[in-house]
Structure 1
């Protein structure tokens, strides 16, 4: 499997399915979304440049076709205890791209790609999520419990610049101070499975006076809440007084963001709700998928200032501010 190179994954958009690649640290299986994976290569010690004093998890930089990428040893960083391997260990590197960055992750081998429903992905328990944010959920496949690794969080532990721009230092004063009264009137919901990212986005949005914000840990919980709003619309309440905009991650247990967006945009009673996809997976291919399900906009996760500017535009807060 070390010859894997990324090809288009033929999954119909909005079906609540994903494909994960199963890999091993010792004998324990883990998984990541194939959308993050560019290729799998055999680990070559001679192509590695060690960075002294960088800690056990950061191996150094790996030379890959004339370019260098950071190489992280997932087993060392996650703190996985060495276990007796079944047969010869053939270490490989998962070359991944997300948040407009390419990183390598050394693992002890790969098994295969599985197509699974997000309904079958179980969120991490709240008490575990607080202490082990390196995993976003788990899925049982053929009797094996596979932990889904949060690669974004792991990269941010080594490189703070790869983390969300929580302080939004780009145009921060303008972004946080203008239009407070109209932003406070907006009714927002957010679906995001990462506790770290949820708290970060909530901090920025409330600081920007988008204070009427309800937060959900997966797409299904969010959709159930929106269904309650739908019933109130049927009962005669105006939608614009109940919900104006949804911010959604794409990867989430129970219901992914593309499926959530599709359900909202196909509903005549809800389709006027603005939907912004906010995900580390945004690239040309994923942007096309967002368009297919009717998303109004999308941004990759480091772009917090751009997210707020997009929300201002979709909600027409300038026009509301000028109105008498």
Structure 2
């Protein structure tokens, strides 16, 4: 396993190149279809890969949550991805991929790990409706890794949201709506993240537009800039901030930021990077691309505070 992951230390050099490294894995051959589906996860999110250790069952958990394991003194929840996706196989998941993002660690059980591929985000396409419907929105992007074989990038955020159900209303409590007019454009490929951003902005009474990847966002933003020029106005008068995820098919957040910062029409519009990638190196890479600030995902309170700071919001309605 160490040989498989030895290139992980070099992955940070990919920032700003619109490239990523993907760890490919299989959940086994589906008894119903006879196919072996290939999935992928960004190496940025992988902490280690190991043989499945002894798992301690945890009561009152979703059926796909096998239990907990202790890794160097830390209890880590373990999710059987075959059970989660509904893929029925003969084999037992022998491998555990330990992932870390947003400062949380979890294990994913898989049947086998294949290799690490370096890909261009432009080669990652939005999944066709057939895959989206069959996988219930789990897949955020697909790419062909060899003839007639697709690799499907999984939405880790969706898995964690659905296997760790809780009443998250408290996360949005006391978000004060502003009386000032502000407009934000955000881009994120995760439906879970987009819904949380929407709830935050709605609670703050901030208008917004959105895209499901960096390429769509850049196309929309260019149209907004062209429209502002036609009207003889500066874009900053109608758009005050861009909020972007890092990982997105077709164009990642680093490249989107690079485009924005190299176009004079976007002068005065800050870029806020919003990502579940927890490492400090990701923040440094974002800053190198011109990102003005960084805020972790799934913390509406921190997102709200950062938006108030960057949008210079002072006039809020107190509850």
- Structure-1-length-normalised TM-score: 0.86
Contact 1:282 1:298 in 2 (8 A): no
Specify the SS of the correspondent of 2:158. Answer: helix
Specify the SS of the correspondent of 2:17. Answer: coil
Measure how far apart 1:258 and its partner are: 1.0
Question: CA deviation digits over 1:1-21, x for unaligned, max 9?
Answer: 366365241534211111110
139 and 205 in structure 1: CA distance in 2 versus 1, 3 angstrom threshold: same
Instruction: Give distance in 2, aligned partners of 1:249 and 1:106.
Output: 26
Contact 2:271 2:291 in 1 (8 A): yes
Question: CA deviation digits over 1:186-240, x for unaligned, max 9?
Answer: 1221111122321231122122100x21111111111011112332454431222
Aligned residues: 304
The match for 2:296 is: 300
230 and 32 in structure 1: CA distance in 2 versus 1, 3 angstrom threshold: same
- Alpha-carbon RMSD across the aligned residues, in angstroms, is 2.4
Question: CA deviation digits over 1:232-267, x for unaligned, max 9?
Answer: 454431222232101111111111111101111122
The answer to whether the aligner puts 1:58 opposite 2:65 as a matched pair is yes
Instruction: Give distance in 2, aligned partners of 1:14 and 1:167.
Output: 36
The match for 2:110 is: 107
Structure 2 gap ranges (5+): 29-35
The answer to whether the aligner puts 1:228 opposite 2:259 as a matched pair is no
129 and 274 in structure 1: CA distance in 2 versus 1, 3 angstrom threshold: farther
The match for 1:81 is: 88
The match for 1:159 is: 164
Instruction: Give distance in 2, aligned partners of 1:253 and 1:155.
Output: 20
Specify the SS of the correspondent of 2:84. Answer: helix
Aligned pairs (5 A) from 1:123-134: 123-125=126-128, 129=132, 132-134=136-138
Question: CA deviation digits over 1:4-59, x for unaligned, max 9?
Answer: 36524153421111111000110321100000000111113xx3212245343111
The answer to whether the aligner puts 1:136 opposite 2:136 as a matched pair is no
Instruction: Give distance in 1, aligned partners of 2:108 and 2:248.
Output: 22
The answer to whether the aligner puts 1:214 opposite 2:209 as a matched pair is yes
Contact 1:244 1:273 in 2 (8 A): yes
Contact 2:157 2:192 in 1 (8 A): no
Instruction: Give distance in 2, aligned partners of 1:242 and 1:66.
Output: 51
Question: CA deviation digits over 1:170-199, x for unaligned, max 9?
Answer: xx33x224xx221xx212211111223212
Aligned pairs (5 A) from 1:251-262: 251-262=247-258
Measure how far apart 1:149 and its partner are: 1.0
Instruction: Give distance in 2, aligned partners of 1:58 and 1:307.
Output: 29
Instruction: Give distance in 2, aligned partners of 1:190 and 1:60.
Output: 36
Measure how far apart 1:113 and its partner are: 0.5
Structure 1 gap ranges (5+): none
1:70 to 63, 69, 77: 77
The match for 2:41 is: 32
